[in-house]
């Protein structure tokens, strides 16, 4: 399997190359030349597999330059009950109204990011050892990518992590998870701005080809294709867990911000998973909902991005959306390049002529949720089912309940545990969320972080100084 860029300007590359590459040299995102097609007999054979077995079957279709025995070893070391809390890895629970919740947050940092990041850490270690290279990761987080990446990479030989986060905007738990890590290879940088400012800096540094090559800069954001492909696995597993036969269809409802999670659902559907609809749920930062309702994509600046109680979704420039638009436009890299030139110039674009394909051919619909909706949903699910959901998952459940069709099986993706967002849970339920073992006193630990203006030059200087020792 070879990989190309959404902007059409990259020679075909192998999986191991794009794993370390970050943004493509033309500023686009890597995608496989085509999506592997899964036959009915393959689907039947996969239904009874364990999570690790299924992950191996799916990832080997994409990571074709990694010997199968090595990949099997990496995957089986990654998806274990010791790391993810149960043999099921991603169990499902059914609410009394029939909605299915796919649990993705039982990993080390209590968010769905662990599902891919744990694999990414092990893949990096393997490929870097083979190539005799080291990697300096520059990432951006609105709260969950950062801790998942740092927990997956801490202490790993040949890897440094420089993680940008919006200063003061993550929850106290999220901040403490990241900033309390004292490992020598972990560096936290709080940026005076929002997540989009952090992601812009990451992309600016990625596009400085000389700096990137000199300091071997890689990425852990969903810019990295390996993140997306690892997430494809749980759509298959969620489908098998929510159905009793491969004759059935399901829809997935996905709390969305940077569009990485639902992009993996889109790829699973393109591979032939029987997915009826992909329901995109946003919070008040609703650029994606606006697109799927109107066909107009209008990324917003920091001044027009709200600080909400589902902070990990406070995103107004959805990086992975570019991968979907590439498919929507019939894989026309030149057209994508032109559209993103407009995005980079602060404008949006109008694809309303393609809106019927987004829904009809690709199955996308969307809805949005507000703070009041979030509180009402957290209260309602607690009252009806005795289940406390986090604020992002609540956004998904709200939208799923609103858009569900008669007879439709909807699987809502649980993207984090409520312990990460205690203030809003207390506001909704007047009590603390359950706190999993091992996190007591987290917020009281000493924290290590530097604070910078949203300036790529300052971040580059910090990386240089740190690596110079
Ligand atoms: C808890 C949580 N929910 C939802 C999202 C949105 O996911 P995506 O950015 O992949 O659309 C994120 C961030 O990525 C998150 O951390
Ligand atoms: N919500 C994310 C933002 C980064 O998204 P990514 O999937 O591109 O890493 C976060 O929690 O950091």
pLDDT at 291 over 90: yes
pLDDT at 359 over 90: yes
ipTM (interface predicted TM): 0.99
pLDDT at 469 over 90: no
pLDDT at 402 over 90: yes
Catalytic residue among 72, 113, 237, 398: 113
* Residue 389: predicted pLDDT: 98
Distance 42 CA to ligand 2 centre (A): 32
Which residue out of 113, 117, 315 has the highest number of ligand 2 atoms within 8 Å of its CB and is therefore the one to mutate? 113
The residue extents of the domains of the chain are 92-110+225-429, 134-215+437-468
Distance 469 CA to ligand 1 centre (A): 34
Q: Residue of the nearest CA to atom 12 in ligand 1?
A: 312
Domains 92-110+225-429 and 134-215+437-468 share a fold: yes
Separation CA 331–CA 130 (nearest Å): 33
CA end-to-end span of the chain: 39
User: How confident is the model over 402-408, as a mean pLDDT?
Assistant: 98
Q: How confident is the model at residue 414 (pLDDT cuts 50, 70, 90)?
A: very high
Q: How confident is the model at residue 244 (pLDDT cuts 50, 70, 90)?
A: very high
User: How confident is the model over 434-439, as a mean pLDDT?
Assistant: 95
Q: Is 113 one of the catalytic residues?
A: yes
Query: Which residues are registered as beta bridge partners of 367?
Result: 281
Percent of the chain past pLDDT 90, that is, above it, reads 99
Minimum-distance ligand 2 atom for the alpha carbon of 312: 1
* Residue 391: predicted pLDDT: 98
Residue-wise pLDDT for 89-103, tens only, equals 999 999 999 999 999
- Looking at the domain that runs over 134-215+437-468, which CATH code has it been given? 3.40.50.1100
* Residue 334: predicted pLDDT: 98
Fold for the domain defined by 92-110+225-429: Rossmann fold (3.40.50)
User: How confident is the model over 334-358, as a mean pLDDT?
Assistant: 96
* Residue 263: predicted pLDDT: 98
User: How confident is the model over 353-373, as a mean pLDDT?
Assistant: 98
220 neighbors 227 (Cβ within 8 angstroms): yes
* Residue 425: predicted pLDDT: 98
Nearest Cα neighbor of 449 from 178, 138, 193, 200 is 178
Query: Which residues are registered as beta bridge partners of 190?
Result: 165, 451
Closest ligand to residue 393's CA: 1
218 neighbors 137 (Cβ within 8 angstroms): yes
233 neighbors 54 (Cβ within 8 angstroms): yes
Q: How confident is the model at residue 443 (pLDDT cuts 50, 70, 90)?
A: very high
178 neighbors 149 (Cβ within 8 angstroms): no
Minimum-distance ligand 2 atom for the alpha carbon of 143: 11
Annotate 45-108 with DSSP letters as a single string.
Answer: HHTT--HHHHHHHHHHHH-TTS-HHHHHHHHHHHS-HHHHSSTTSS-EEE-TTS-EEEE---ST
* Residue 40: predicted pLDDT: 97
Per the model's pLDDT, the better-predicted residue between 155 and 393 turns out to be 393
CA atoms within 13 A on the CB side of 318: 28
Instruction: At 434, list the tokens.
Output: 């359950």
Buried (b) or exposed (e) across 153-184, using 16+ Cβ within 10 A?
bbebebbbbbbbbbbebbbebbbbbbbbbeee
Report the run of H or E that residue 435 belongs to, with start and end.
none
Q: Where are the beta strands (DSSP E) in 259-344?
A: 275-282, 296-297
| Residues in the chain, overall count | 469
Pocket of ligand 1 (CB under 6 A): 111, 143-144, 222, 255-261, 312-313, 392, 415-416
Residue-wise pLDDT for 45-75, tens only, equals 999 999 999 999 999 999 999 999 999 999 9
């Amino acid at each position: 399997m070879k990989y190309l860029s959404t902007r059409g300007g990259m020679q075909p590359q192998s999986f191991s190359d794009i794993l370390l590459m970050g943004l493509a040299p033309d500023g686009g995102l890597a995608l496989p030349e085509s999506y592997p097609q899964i036959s009915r007999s393959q689907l039947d054979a996969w239904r009874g597999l364990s999570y690790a077995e299924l992950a191996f079957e799916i990832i080997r279709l994409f990571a074709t330059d990694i010997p199968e025995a090595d990949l099997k070893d990496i995957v089986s070391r990654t998806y274990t009950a010791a790391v993810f809390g149960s043999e099921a890895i991603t169990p499902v629970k059914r609410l009394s109204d029939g909605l299915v919740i796919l649990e993705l947050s039982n990993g080390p940092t209590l968010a769905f990011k662990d599902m891919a990041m744990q694999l990414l850490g092990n893949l990096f270690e393997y490929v870097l050892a083979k190539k005799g290279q080291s990697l300096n990761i520059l990432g951006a987080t609105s709260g969950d990518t950062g801790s998942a990446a740092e927990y997956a990479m801490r202490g790993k030989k040949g890897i440094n992590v420089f993680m940008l986060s919006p200063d003061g905007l993550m929850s106290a738990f999220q901040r403490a998870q990241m900033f309390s890590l004292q490992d020598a290879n972990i560096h936290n940088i709080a940026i005076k701005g929002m997540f989009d400012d952090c992601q812009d800096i990451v992309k600016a540094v990625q596009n400085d080809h000389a700096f990137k090559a000199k300091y071997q800069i890689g990425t852990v954001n969903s810019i990295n294709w390996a993140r997306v492909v690892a997430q494809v696995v749980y759509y298959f597993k969620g489908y098998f867990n929510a159905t009793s036969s491969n004759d059935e269809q399901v829809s997935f409802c996905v709390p969305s911000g940077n569009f990485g999670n639902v992009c993996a659902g889109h790829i699973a559907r393109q591979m032939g998973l029987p997915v009826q609809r992909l329901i995109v749920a946003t919070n008040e930062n609703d650029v994606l909902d606006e697109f799927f309702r109107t066909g107009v994509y209008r990324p917003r600046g920091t001044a027009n991005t709200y600080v909400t109680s589902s902070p990990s979704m406070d995103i107004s420039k959805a990086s992975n959306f570019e991968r979907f638009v590439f498919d929507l436009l019939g894989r026309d890299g030149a057209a994508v390049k032109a559209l993103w030139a407009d995005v980079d110039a602060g404008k949006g674009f109008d694809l309303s002529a393609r809106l019927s394909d987004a829904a009809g051919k690709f199955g996308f619909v969307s809805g949005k949720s507000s703070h009041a909706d979030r509180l009402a949903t957290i209260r309602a699910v607690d009252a009806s089912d005795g289940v406390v959901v986090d604020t992002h998952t609540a956004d998904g459940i709200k939208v799923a309940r609103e858009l569900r069709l008669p007879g439709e099986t909807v699987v809502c993706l649980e993207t984090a545990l409520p312990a990460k967002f205690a203030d809003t849970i207390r506001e909704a339920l007047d009590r603390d969320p359950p706190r999993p073992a091992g996190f007591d006193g987290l917020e009281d630990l000493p924290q290590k972080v530097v604070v910078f203006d949203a300036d790529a030059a300052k971040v580059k200087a910090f990386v240089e100084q740190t690596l110079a020792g």
